[in-house]
């Protein structure tokens, strides 16, 4: 046992004495050796790449720059996705144009044929307004700037305006953002629907049937539609219009406009096209209808309502997507500006660290001399 202890002590002593001193007054710089009185870099230093030791602040800035650049990539991708969806929405609007024009033409021809008898149609009859149903169209998701908040404020203002006049008001809310907002504040909600990113005829039919049943049953005297009117990629306007009862003059004399998203050198823009009113279809005086023309008009009006609801949903979705494009573009621009500022700050911190190291090396060399 004594032999083993003595051997261990000798090994420890050799470990401390066999290696050269880590710091001696004979070596001019740490990690370097003197050959023929000339300071030469060691082999390990020649093979190692130059590194700069920075403090925690510079490393934190570098990590933040990486995070901001990744965020910019995400926002730019979201902008491009929204642009693709805008194109799909405009294609859907163009696909419904032939049906809308034919419906408007046939309706105009029947109105001319009937003359003043249209006053007997329930959907064209004006009532004394005692109760109004507000149909509010919002989005299902956020990250679209002030799109949802502007629409909600418009609906609240219209609700207060009607209630101050002593008119009873209930609401049909479309879109998760509006549903969550108005439910939390205990507004009288009759029915709720999801908006989605790709409105379909089936979805519009369910909404129009609910509105028609509400009006024809006498539960409400007027139905107002609150939606976001698409103006351009950087502007949209919350609008209010009376949906039911219809006005024969509005149906037969109201034109339409189509927006088309275009791109030039990576920049998006919108081209607006004004469409003229469809000419009323001419029915000869000796034409005999199998059904009463009034019944035909009564059958056309629900189809017209369904088309108007679908068109409104498509326009609102296009406005939401355009607002999201603009919001993501602004976020990308802000991320780029922030990355540039952080790069300047990072370079300053890096230069300060390099300067501090140089000063320490010079001070150490001066102390050794």
Contact yes or no for 224/55 (Cβ under 8 A): no
Helix (H, G, I), strand (E, B) or coil at 50: coil
Give the separation between CA 206 and CA 264, rounded to whole angstroms: 39
Residues with Cβ within 8 Å of residue 155, at least 6 apart in sequence: 134, 136, 171, 178, 182, 226
Give the separation between CA 147 and CA 320, rounded to whole angstroms: 6
CA neighbours closer than 13 Å in the CB half-sphere of residue 22: 1
Instruction: Give the number of other Cβ atoms within 10 Å of residue 292's Cβ.
Output: 11
Q: Which of 5, 14, 144, 195 is catalytic?
A: 144
Contact yes or no for 327/143 (Cβ under 8 A): yes
* Annotation marks residue 5 as catalytic: no
Of 78, 79, 88, the residue nearest 266 (C-alpha): 79
Helix (H, G, I), strand (E, B) or coil at 231: strand
Give the separation between CA 115 and CA 128, rounded to whole angstroms: 24
**Which region holds residue 295: left if phi is over 0, alpha if psi is between -120 and 50, else beta?**
alpha
Contact yes or no for 175/319 (Cβ under 8 A): no
Give the separation between CA 134 and CA 158, rounded to whole angstroms: 9
Give the separation between CA 133 and CA 3, rounded to whole angstroms: 103
Q: How is 142-156 classified by DSSP, letter by letter?
A: --STTHHHHHHHHHH
Contact yes or no for 325/44 (Cβ under 8 A): no
Q: Work out the widest C-alpha separation in the chain, in whole angstroms.
A: 133
Residues recognised as catalytic: 144
């Amino acid at each position: 046992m004594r032999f083993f202890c003595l051997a261990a002590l000798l090994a420890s002593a050799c470990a401390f004495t066999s290696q050269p001193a880590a710091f001696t007054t004979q070596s001019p710089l740490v990690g370097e050796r003197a050959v023929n009185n000339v300071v030469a870099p060691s082999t390990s230093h020649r093979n190692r790449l130059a590194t700069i030791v920075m403090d925690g602040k510079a490393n934190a800035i570098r990590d933040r720059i990486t995070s901001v650049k990744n965020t910019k990539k995400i926002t730019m991708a979201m902008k491009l996705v929204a642009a693709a969806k805008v194109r799909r929405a405009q294609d859907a609007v163009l696909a419904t144009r032939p049906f809308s024009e034919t419906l408007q033409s046939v309706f105009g021809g029947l109105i001319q044929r009937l003359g003043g008898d249209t006053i007997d149609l329930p959907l064209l009859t004006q009532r004394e307004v005692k109760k109004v149903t507000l149909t509010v169209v919002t989005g299902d998701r956020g990250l679209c700037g002030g799109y949802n908040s502007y629409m909600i404020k418009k609906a609240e203002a219209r609700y207060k305006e009607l209630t101050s006049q002593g008119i009873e008001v209930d609401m049909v809310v479309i879109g998760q953002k509006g549903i969550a907002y108005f439910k939390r504040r205990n507004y009288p909600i009759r029915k709720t629907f999801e908006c989605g990113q790709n409105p379909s005829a089936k979805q519009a039919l369910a909404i129009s049937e609910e509105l028609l049943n509400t009006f024809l049953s006498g539960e409400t005297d007027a139905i107002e539609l609150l939606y976001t009117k698409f103006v351009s990629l950087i502007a949209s306007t919350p609008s209010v219009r009376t949906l039911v009862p219809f006005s024969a003059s509005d149906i037969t004399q109201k034109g339409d406009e189509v927006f088309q998203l275009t791109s030039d050198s990576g920049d998006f823009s919108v081209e607006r096209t004004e469409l003229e009113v469809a000419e009323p279809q001419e029915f000869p005086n000796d034409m005999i209808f199998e059904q009463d023309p009034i019944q035909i008009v009564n059958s056309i009006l629900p189809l017209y309502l369904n088309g108007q609801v679908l068109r409104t949903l498509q326009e609102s979705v296009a406005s939401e997507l355009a607002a999201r494009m603009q919001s993501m573009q602004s976020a990308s621009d802000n991320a780029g500006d922030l990355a540039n500022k952080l790069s300047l700050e990072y370079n300053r911190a890096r230069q300060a660290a390099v300067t501090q190291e140089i000063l320490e090396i010079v001070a150490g060399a001066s102390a050794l001399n």
